[in-house]
């Protein structure tokens, strides 16, 4: 499938910001599931200081904001050809060693509820257990925006029974690691036939399965990633793969607006 993507992020400030440094993870990479045909990013009100590939194999741009602007606009867009590989990304290739993806993080640390849930997943194989976890999490956690934040843990969202794709992904990662599988967070884009403009990027998870490599699972939609998905960044959790993150100095209040379109 050939997908055209536009991702616009705009920050506005009630008074000019003194200084800010932003980390952008907005460029997809070519791999088994996709081929980037064309991509560009533009930043208005800031300067791109450096770019590099991080330990997770993400393309990162560092953007500095000086001159006391009251608006920053980031536009990333391009065309990506995607393929249906039954969710299989393939071998591990990042600088980060595979065993590091087995460790807990603040957002993915399981509590009693997730540990009990993982113990209930007794299936014939590891892959069967992971698929069972994906489907069960979809049933147990209602997709409901506004009930969680970027700091909500997997255990808290699972216990509350609500969340968004970020929360579903964190819960799945926690369970996969309890089942003995390295697992990672994936941020990216999702093409939806009945939806034009979106207000957020999508997130899902991947678990490393012997004999297959990295395999994707989207518990928020109870499906395996196919040609409608575009991978952008990986990490232990959301904090490593968020599209835009950074720090700022100044007394201004910040307002964020995001507009995303993914079209065939």
pTM (2 d.p.): 0.94
pLDDT of residue 17: 75
**Which residues of the chain fall short of a pLDDT of 70?**
250-252
Kindly give, in sequence order, each residue whose CB lies less than 8 Å from that of residue 258, ignoring residues fewer than 6 positions away: 7, 8, 9, 10, 199, 200, 201
- Bridge partners (DSSP) of residue 50 are 62
pLDDT of residue 252: 63
If we measure between CA atoms, which residue out of 52, 66, 56, 57 comes closest to residue 23? 52
C-alpha separations of 33 from 12, 85, 89, 211 in Å: 36, 6, 6, 17
If we measure between CA atoms, which residue out of 139, 125, 224, 225 comes closest to residue 179? 125
- Bridge partners (DSSP) of residue 167 are none
pLDDT of residue 28: 96
64 phi, psi to nearest 5 deg: -105, 145
The conformation of residue 70, written as its DSSP 8-state character, comes to S
pLDDT of residue 195: 78
Half-sphere exposure of 106 (CA within 13 A, CB side): 6
Classify residue 52 by burial, with Cβ atoms within 10 Å: 0-12, 13-18, 19+.
Answer: exposed
CA distance 129 to 176: 9
pLDDT of residue 84: 96
pLDDT of residue 251: 55
Task: Tell me the domains of the chain and their CATH numbers.
Answer: 2-82+244-263 (2.60.40.2250), 88-241 (3.10.620.30)
């Amino acid at each position: 499938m050939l997908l055209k993507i536009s991702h616009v992020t705009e920050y506005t400030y009630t008074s000019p910001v003194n200084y800010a440094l932003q980390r952008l993870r907005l460029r997809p990479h070519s791999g088994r599931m996709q081929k980037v045909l064309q991509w560009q990013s533009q930043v208005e009100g800031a300067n791109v200081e450096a770019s590099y590939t991080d330990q997770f194999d993400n393309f990162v741009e560092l953007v500095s904001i000086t001159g006391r602007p009251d608006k920053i606009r980031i536009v990333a867009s391009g065309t990506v050809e995607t393929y249906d590989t039954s969710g299989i990304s393939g071998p591990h290739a990042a600088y980060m060693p595979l065993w590091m993806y087995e460790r807990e993080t603040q957002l993915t640390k399981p509590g009693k509820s997730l540990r009990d849930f993982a113990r209930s997943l007794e299936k014939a194989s590891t892959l069967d257990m992971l698929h069972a976890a994906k489907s069960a999490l979809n049933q147990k956690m209602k997709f409901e925006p506004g009930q969680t934040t970027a700091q909500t843990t997997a255990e808290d969202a699972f216990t509350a029974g609500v969340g968004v794709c970020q929360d579903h992904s964190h819960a799945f990662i926690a369970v996969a690691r309890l089942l003995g599988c390295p697992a990672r967070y994936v941020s990216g884009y999702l093409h939806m036939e009945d939806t034009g403009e979106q207000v957020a990027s999508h997130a899902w998870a991947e678990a490393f399965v012997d004999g297959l490599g990295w395999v994707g699972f989207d518990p928020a939609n109870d499906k395996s990633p196919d040609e409608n998905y575009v991978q952008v960044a990986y990490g232990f959790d959301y904090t490593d793969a968020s599209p835009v993150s950074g720090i700022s100095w100044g007394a201004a209040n910040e307002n964020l607006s995001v507009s995303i379109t993914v079209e065939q």
